[in-house]
Amino acid sequence: MAGGFGGGKHGKRRFTQRLMNKGITRISQAGLLCCFAVLLAQPVRVEALDNGLALTPPMGWNSWNKFGCNVSETLIKSVADAMATNGMRDAGYQYVVIDDCWQVSRAADGTIVADPKRFPSGIQALADYVHSKGLKFGIYSCAGTNTCAGRPGSLGHELQDARQYAVWGVDYLKYDWCNHADESAVSAYSRMRDALQATGRPVIFSICEWGNGKPWLWAKDVGNLWRTTGDIFDCWDCTNKWSFGWTKILDQQAGLESHAGPGHWNDPDMLEVGNGRMSTAEYKAHFSLWCILAAPLIAGNDVRSMPPEIKEILANKEVIAVDQDQLGMQGRRVQKAGDLEVWAKQLKDGSRAVVLFNRGTSAATISVALEDLGYTGAISASVRDLWKRKDIGRFTGKFSAKVPSHEVVMVKVMP
Ligand code: GLA
């Protein structure tokens, strides 16, 4: 489920934006040619984001994928209750984030007003409740006049909203890009970054501009994570308006790996695991690849009523450890032969997490040479199957396994 992008999402990029896209994040006017001086008279200020947060990819839950605009304090409280008791919190899921539609208007003094019918106790009481469960609390707004679902956005109210979030006890802000002004994303998102920092409260800043302005090239200084694509949809490879199946999104991550690291992550969007339109094997593959990508792990299903096989996926500690590895390296595709792929992620202890991925319609054997994982010589390595939680022996030169259709074999390779 997803809302519309609304109007005006393709704002004009300014000259400074183009510089950002070339990786120039600090502008020295003295060092630039004089003919650029006029254009640089009002440079966009880009300073480092230094909030000390998200040293590993953020983990949590968000209302949008399953509930859309149907959010309320009852829902959020029952989700927090479930996460605190069903193993999700203990597996590392921390942030409970209300997406769009919690807000209805602004008061005469500009204060943002939460829907009084759906949130009768107010947002602060809700944040307190989530905190009392040992979890953190997140909220959603938009850099435009209105959110993607048409609710009031933060444009022109950035400081006021950031202060309000700090008073409420917000720990995470997802900030969308619908109905934005005619300015660059780097400028709009930097303004909210500065507003959040001015409050003194540590808040994870999640940039959601869908990859339009190549945020991987500039957003490291602005946010802790940035969406790299349009919205995810609960399917294998469909396209549904502005939303895409997870394999389509996966393909768009190849090549972005050098831009991610502790405190700043590529975000291929929230998980669809458990939302009902895919098989268990397909969800397992989706989750495995998100972990190889060092993606933020934001569950998007109804965690209050998960069948055991879905909980097995979302709460598998060995697979999650790959995502949360402290080295913070995003994995990459190391092999592609038609429908058969190998993805690998270097881990802090020198081992590699490896996913053999079969996108085809029948089972196939997939092999990877240990050299292609970054090891030289005909080395041998111990291999552990992370889904079966089983050591499967020592292999020399290469590792092979039979992989069913639309499934993965995920292993840890330890020389
Ligand atoms: C956009 C975002 C989604 C969601 C909706 C809410 O589509 O990309 O993740 O937040 O807006 O309206």
136-179 pLDDT, tens per residue? 999 999 999 999 999 999 999 999 999 999 999 999 999 999 99
With a cut of 70, say whether residue 15 has pLDDT above it. Answer: no
With a cut of 60, say whether residue 123 has pLDDT above it. Answer: yes
pLDDT of residue 49: 85
Q: For 358-375, what is the mean pLDDT?
A: 97
pLDDT of residue 50: 83
Ligand 1 center from residue 150 Cα (angstroms): 11
Cα 86 from Cα 308, distance rounded (Å): 11
Ligand 1 center from residue 348 Cα (angstroms): 34
Q: Would you say the CB of residue 231 lies under 6 angstroms from ligand 1?
A: yes
**302-325 pLDDT tens trace:** 999 999 999 999 999 999 999 999
- Three-state SS at 370: helix
The residues, any chain, with a CB within 8 Å of residue 212's CB and separated by 6 or more, are 9, 10, 177, 185
pLDDT of residue 7: 33
Residue having the nearest C-alpha atom to atom 11 of ligand 1: 148
Cα 331 from Cα 351, distance rounded (Å): 12
For residues 1 and 233, is the Cβ–Cβ distance under 8 A?
no
pLDDT exceeding 70 applies to what percent of the chain? 88
Ligand 1 center from residue 3 Cα (angstroms): 6
Cβ of 273: how many Cβ atoms within 10 Å? Answer: 25
Predicted confidence band at 47 (pLDDT cuts at 50, 70, 90)?
Answer: low
Does 378 or 44 have the greater pLDDT score? 378
Cα 273 from Cα 295, distance rounded (Å): 14
Residue having the nearest C-alpha atom to atom 5 of ligand 1: 3
> Could you give the angle at the alpha carbon of 123 between the alpha carbons of 4 and 79, nearest 5°?
75
Q: Would you say the CB of residue 102 lies under 6 angstroms from ligand 1?
A: no
Length of the chain: 415
Q: Would you say the CB of residue 211 lies under 6 angstroms from ligand 1?
A: no
Catalytic position from the list 99, 100, 171, 176: 176
Is residue 372 among the annotated active site residues? no
Residue type, 411: V
**125-137 pLDDT tens trace:** 999 999 999 999 9
pLDDT of residue 46: 55
pLDDT of residue 114: 98
With a cut of 70, say whether residue 52 has pLDDT above it. Answer: yes
Cα 398 from Cα 90, distance rounded (Å): 35
For residues 138 and 102, is the Cβ–Cβ distance under 8 A?
no
Q: Would you say the CB of residue 154 lies under 6 angstroms from ligand 1?
A: no
Beta bridge partners of 297: 59
Catalytic position from the list 100, 161, 231, 302: 231
Q: Would you say the CB of residue 2 lies under 6 angstroms from ligand 1?
A: yes
Pocket-testing residue among 5, 64, 140, ligand 1, by greatest number of atoms within 8 A of Cβ: 64
Nearest atom of ligand 1 to the alpha carbon of 5? 7
With a cut of 80, say whether residue 42 has pLDDT above it. Answer: no
Residue having the nearest C-alpha atom to atom 8 of ligand 1: 231
Backbone angles phi, psi at 297, to 5 degrees: -105, 90
pLDDT of residue 5: 33
**200-256 pLDDT tens trace:** 999 999 999 999 999 999 999 999 999 999 999 999 999 999 999 999 999 999 999
Ligand 1 center from residue 140 Cα (angstroms): 9
Q: For 349-358, what is the mean pLDDT?
A: 98
pLDDT of residue 48: 65
